[in-house]
Amino acid sequence: MGRTSDRKETLIQSAIELIGTRSYNAVGVQELCEHAGVKKGSFYHFFPSKRDLTLEALDLIWKNFKEETLEPVFNSDASAPEKFETLLRKSYEYQSSRKDCVGCMTGCGFGNLALELSTQDEEIRKKIEEIFCEWTKYLEGVIMQAVDEGVLSSETDPASTSQAIVAYIEGVFLLATTFNDPCIINRLGEGVLQLCISKKKAVDACSAG
């Protein structure tokens, strides 16, 4: 048995893997402990309940998604449309590798838990609401960049546009998960740009007309 911090970390990783591949209610504390190689007494030393473990797992998934995907993509020198394209390509690649690894597309951990638990667990619902709000804020930056670049009309509302994009991305993941087909992310991904650029297209077409 490793150090205390290792055991806690292993439990969080087990939650990400088991709950992320199946669902919250399909995975019990006993199975999480067995997967992590940690005794049940240790589990309750670190976490009062499966919910508390899941809240920490959600924090870690969000931290990793920010650090490994959102920040490198959104802090690059690319144009706003290129940033969205890269985000979608990385999402497709990740979901394809998950399917190769576990045999099926596992989708978005936030969306999955949100739909399973929002009516049942207020703390988890609020945690995912906060994550979606923070994600929306990241996208607002790219929307404002697109306005600066002249890709989007200056009348664009960054808040509602970025929330619409988060909704669309979550919906695309939902369909891709239901069809067990990551290619749907590629096929429907261009709709993200359509949600953004329709006003600008109209303006451009008008100027060119």
Q: Which residues of this chain interact with its own copies, rule CB under 8 A?
A: 21-26, 102, 104-107, 111-112, 114-120, 125, 128-129, 132, 160, 163-164, 166-172, 174-175, 177-180, 184, 187-188, 191, 194-195, 197-199, 201-209
Residue at token pair 């359509």: 194
Taking the complex as a whole, the smallest distance from the CB of residue 73 to its own copies amounts, in Å, to 20
Q: Which amino acid is at 190?
A: E
Return the SS3 of 111. Answer: helix
Taking the complex as a whole, the smallest distance from the CB of residue 115 to its own copies amounts, in Å, to 5
Taking the complex as a whole, the smallest distance from the CB of residue 3 to its own copies amounts, in Å, to 32
Closest CB to its own copies among residues 41, 209: 209
Closest CB to its own copies among residues 38, 113: 113
- 89-102 as b/e, with b when 16 or more CB fall inside 10 Å? eebbebbbebbeee
Taking the complex as a whole, the smallest distance from the CB of residue 65 to its own copies amounts, in Å, to 16
Tell me how far CA of residue 165 lies from CA of 13, 49, 72, 88, in angstroms. 29, 34, 19, 12
Closest CB to its own copies among residues 145, 156: 156
Q: Which two tokens stand for residue 113?
A: 């838990």
Q: Of 43, 63, 62, 61, which Cα lies nearest the Cα of 53?
A: 43
Taking the complex as a whole, the smallest distance from the CB of residue 195 to its own copies amounts, in Å, to 6
Q: Which two tokens stand for residue 43?
A: 């589990």
Tell me how crowded residue 156 is: count the other CB atoms within 10 A of its CB. Answer: 19
Taking the complex as a whole, the smallest distance from the CB of residue 83 to its own copies amounts, in Å, to 19
Closest CB to its own copies among residues 72, 115: 115
Closest CB to its own copies among residues 13, 163: 163
Tell me how far CA of residue 186 lies from CA of 11, 96, 167, 194, 200, in angstroms. 33, 11, 16, 14, 23
Closest CB to its own copies among residues 38, 107: 107
Q: What is the CA radius of gyration of the chain?
A: 19
